[in-house]
């Protein structure tokens, strides 16, 4: 999975301290601060939701955009593109074949660009470049076409920064493994008004069999030479049967190729590194930091210097992507998913921990969001989506690729914000009420009827209400006594017009709201 690295537009004033393997964030959290669930997307049996990515502002309207990625019954990806705006985001603006991810503005035309990958089995991967534009996108809009054979292309797709000093940001693409010789590699495409169909540089970190390139990113100019640098995470199988997990730094070069590594800053044989991302400036020294994590530990570096390492923090960390400011205080925030979190009843729900950056010390988690279904892989990927509705707050995306609907894995994607988007009350995350959940209706969109599933912790009265897109109540869907545990109701579209609606469950002064679409 991949996500766009949002270009840095603010400097953080908070600092990080490591004391007894505890993260100490300088954070100030007001009592009224909250996170609202503003949108969800759920796959189907035929089209499983597998992920999502930030795209940046691809149409130049001042609102950041994103995509939701599905895999169909033929095992082919397609991506729904949602353009940001003042409202939220009910129908895709376009649907493209393949897997999309944002790469920033690599031709300096004021529009962010994006890449599409298509996998043509059994051995061909194709890469397409879309320049940002205010025109409508379709599958004929791509410009560059590169083909790769016998490779696992796409372990990461990132904006590398300007590594060759031509004032254009460059593109780096990871190939985790090459079936012809077992050697992973990184391809560099130089940005510009035009871009070559063939890589300008091929980096082979370790020219040995069974060498995997797992992750990488541009990390800014860490040696102050005016050229941006990159970091690559590698897993190498040794002859004695052990593994070496490395993070290797390559300095940018002007008119020469950075194919020879400059430094290896990390070496570990225990767990492989499966995530490496630029984090943003968190020390106030005008240099970006970057982080990487193994299965259970997190490391943050500023250039060649380790700021801290948090070892054995959790037994199963999710993947942390990008950089963003959720609470609008001009400081970058940190998201740490805990994939093995269990609630008080020993259920594996997963939890996403949020640390707000600010200027007063606080050693506690700022916010935590619990998954709604056991073993759904909630938090497997978290990503900052940018400011989708231009209200000064970046939105947070969380995937749950193993989410089940009707006992079948369909996948789910959640979007959270510091601000409400609709007039309907959103989810209230109240940890005092366990086993209270509302699932996405299916099918969705629907006609003529749809199923709504819900869970309550004890026997009691449940009320369902239906609202229009303006937050106005239309009618009560159902009300009555229900047994504890799993329940379901059937909603028909009688007397409804085509459009977006919200349905809300009320139980013992608690409520959850979700969105549905009716098509006549």
CATH label of the domain that carries residue 180: 2.130.10.130
Task: Choose the final residue of a domain: 421, 449, 480.
Answer: 421
The model's pTM is 0.75
Q: Are residues 261 and 395 in the same domain?
A: no
Alpha-helical runs (H) found in 215-351:
none
Together in a domain, 119 and 59: yes
Q: Which sign, positive or negative, has the C-alpha torsion 393, 395, 439, 458?
A: negative
d(C-alpha 490, C-alpha 331), whole Å: 45
- Say how many C-beta atoms besides its own lie within 10 A of residue 201's C-beta: 20
Mapped onto helix, strand or coil, the DSSP state of residue 104 is: strand
Assigned domain for 13 exists: no
Last residue of a domain, one of 285, 313, 341: 313
* pLDDT of 188 higher than 90: yes
Report angle CA 507, 421, 383 to the nearest 5 degrees: 95
CB 155 within 8 A of CB 178: no
Other CB atoms within 10 A of residue 74 CB:
7
pLDDT of 268 higher than 50: yes
Nearest to 292 by CA among 321, 263, 313: 321
How far apart (Å, rounded) are the C-alpha atoms in residues 377 and 436? 18
Cβ atoms 317, 338 nearer than 8 A: yes
Domain assignment of residue 11, yes or no: no
**Cα–Cα nearest to 342, from 382, 370, 310, 318:** 370
Mark whether 113 and 182 lie in a shared domain.
no
Q: Is 417 within the bounds of a domain?
A: yes
On whether both 143 and 170 belong to a single domain, the answer is: no
User: Is residue 231 within 8 Å of 251, Cβ to Cβ?
Assistant: no
Are 183 and 308 in the same domain?
A: yes
Q: Do 306 and 448 fall within a single domain?
A: no
Choose among 386, 473, 382, 460: nearest CA to 425.
Answer: 473
The C-alpha atoms of residue 363 and residue 472 are separated, in whole angstroms, by 42
In this structure, are residues 390 and 377 in contact, taking their beta carbons and an 8 Å threshold? no
SS (H, E, C) 442-464: ECCCECCEEEEEEEECCCEEEEE
Q: How many residues does the chain have?
A: 520
Q: What is the pLDDT of residue 330?
A: 83
Report pLDDT digits (tens) over 340-388. Answer: 888 778 888 888 988 887 654 445 678 889 888 999 999 999 999 999 9
Is 98 found in the same domain as 232?
no
Residue 509 lies in a domain: yes
Q: Name the DSSP letter for residue 327.
A: S
Looking at residue 29, its pLDDT comes to 36
Determine the Cα–Cα distance for residues 476 and 463; give it in Å rounded to an integer: 8
* Angle at CA of residue 517, ends 514 and 520, nearest 5°: 155
Buried b (16+ CB within 10 A) or exposed e, 475-504: eebeeeebeeeeeebebebeebeeebbbbb
Is residue 122 a part of any domain in this protein?
Answer: yes
Residues 284 and 184 in one domain: yes
**Strands 319-321 vs 381-386: parallel, antiparallel or unpaired:** parallel
Question: What is residue 26's predicted lDDT score, i.e. its pLDDT?
Answer: 35
Q: Are residues 384 and 497 in the same domain?
A: no
Q: In which domain, by residue range, is 483 found? A: 437-518
Q: 134 pLDDT band (50/70/90 cuts)?
A: confident
Lowest-confidence range among 97-111, 189-203, 305-319, 477-491? Answer: 305-319
Are 78 and 227 in the same domain? no
Residue 279 belongs to a domain = yes
pLDDT at residue 315, as a whole number? 60
Same domain, 380 and 264: no
Judge whether residue 458 has pLDDT over 70.
Answer: yes
User: Domain boundary at 289, 313, 337, which?
Assistant: 313
CATH number for the domain that contains residue 502: 2.60.40.1930
241 shares its domain with 136: no
Q: Is the pLDDT of residue 317 over 50?
A: yes
Cβ count within 10 A of residue 433:
15
- Spatial neighbors of 153 by CB under 8 A, at least 6 apart, are 117, 125, 127, 173, 174, 175
| Collapsed DSSP state (helix, strand, coil) of residue 137 | coil
For the cut 90, the answer to whether the pLDDT of residue 80 exceeds it is yes
Taking only the tens place, the pLDDT of each residue in 158-185 is 999 999 999 999 999 999 888 778 788 9
In sequence order, which residues have a C-beta less than 8 Å from that of residue 233 and are 6 or more positions away?
A: 213, 214, 215, 216, 245, 246, 247, 248, 273, 274, 275, 276, 292
| Per-state percent for the chain, helix, strand, coil, to nearest 5 | 0, 50, 50
pLDDT of residue 266: 80
pLDDT value of position 90: 66
Distance CA 354, CA 378 (A): 14
Give the separation between CA 331 and CA 103, rounded to whole angstroms. 22
Would you call 468 helix, strand, or coil by DSSP? strand
Radius of gyration of the chain (CA): 23
Residue 89 lies in a domain: yes
Mean pLDDT taken over the chain: 81
Q: How far apart are CA 18 and CA 363, in angstroms?
A: 11
* Domains identified in the chain, total number: 3
Rounded CA separation 40/369 (Å): 14
CA distance 206 to 188: 16
- Three-state SS letters, 288-323: CEEEEECCCCEEEEECCEEEEEECCCCCCECEEECC
Q: Is 435 helix (H, G, I), strand (E, B) or coil?
A: coil
**What pLDDT, on a 0 to 100 scale, did the predictor assign at position 364?**
67
At 231, is the secondary structure helix, strand, or coil? strand
Residue 164 in any domain: the answer is: yes
């Amino acid at each position: 999975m991949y996500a766009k690295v949002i270009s840095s537009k603010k400097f953080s004033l908070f600092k990080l301290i490591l004391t007894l393997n505890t993260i100490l964030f300088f954070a100030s959290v007001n009592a009224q601060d909250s996170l609202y669930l503003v949108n969800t997307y759920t796959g189907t049996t035929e089209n499983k939701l597998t992920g999502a990515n930030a795209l940046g502002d691809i149409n130049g309207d001042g609102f950041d955009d994103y995509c939701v990625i599905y895999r169909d019954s033929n095992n082919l990806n397609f991506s729904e593109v949602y353009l940001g705006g003042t409202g939220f985001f009910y129908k895709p603006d376009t649907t493209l074949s393949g897997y999309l991810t944002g790469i920033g503005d690599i031709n300096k035309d004021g529009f962010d660009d994006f890449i599409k990958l298509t996998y043509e089995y059994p051995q061909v991967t194709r890469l397409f470049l879309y320049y940002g534009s205010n025109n409508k996108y379709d599958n004929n809009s791509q410009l560059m076409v590169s083909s790769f054979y016998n490779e696992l292309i796409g372990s990461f797709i990132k904006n590398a920064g300007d590594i060759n000093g031509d004032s254009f940001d460059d593109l780096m693409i990871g190939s985790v493994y090459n079936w012809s010789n077992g050697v992973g590699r990184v391809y560099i495409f130089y940005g510009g008004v035009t871009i070559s169909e063939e890589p300008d540089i091929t980096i082979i970190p370790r020219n040995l069999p069974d060498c995997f390139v797992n992750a990488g990113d541009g990390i800014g100019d860490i040696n102050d030479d005016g050229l941006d640098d990159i970091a690559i995470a590698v897993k190498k199988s040794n002859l004695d049967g052990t593994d070496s997990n490395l993070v290797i730094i390559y300095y940018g070069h002007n008119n020469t190729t950075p194919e020879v590594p400059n430094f290896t800053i990390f070496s570990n044989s225990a767990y492989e590194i499966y995530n490496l991302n630029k984090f943003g400036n968190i020390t106030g020294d005008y240099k970006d930091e970057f982080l990487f994590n193994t299965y259970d530990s997190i490391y943050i570096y500023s250039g060649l210097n380790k700021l801290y390492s948090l070892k054995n923090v959790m037994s199963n960390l999710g993947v942390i992507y990008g950089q963003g400011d959720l609470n609008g205080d001009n400081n970058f925030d940190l998201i740490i998913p805990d994939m093995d979190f269990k609630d008080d009843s020993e259920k594996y729900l997963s939890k996403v921990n949020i640390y707000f950056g600010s200027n007063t010390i606080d050693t506690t988690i700022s916010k935590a969001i619990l998954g709604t279904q056991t073993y759904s892989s909630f938090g497997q990927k978290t990503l900052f989506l940018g400011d989708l509705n231009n209200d000064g707050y970046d939105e947070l995306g969380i995937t749950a690729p193993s989410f089940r609907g009707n006992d079948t894995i369909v996948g789910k994607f959640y979007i959270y914000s510091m601000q409400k988007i609709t007039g309907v009350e959103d989810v209230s995350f109240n940890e005092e009420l366990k086993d209270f959940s509302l699932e996405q209706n299916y099918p969705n969109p629907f006609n003529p009827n749809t199923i709504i599933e819900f869970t309550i912790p004890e026997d009691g009265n449940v009320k369902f209400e239906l609202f229009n897109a303006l937050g106005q109540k239309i009618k009560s869907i159902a009300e009555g006594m229900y047994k504890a545990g799993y329940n379901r109701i059937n909603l028909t579209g009688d007397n409804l017009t085509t459009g977006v609606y919200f349905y809300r469950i009320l139980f013992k002064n608690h409520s959850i709201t979700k969105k549905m679409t009716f098509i006549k």
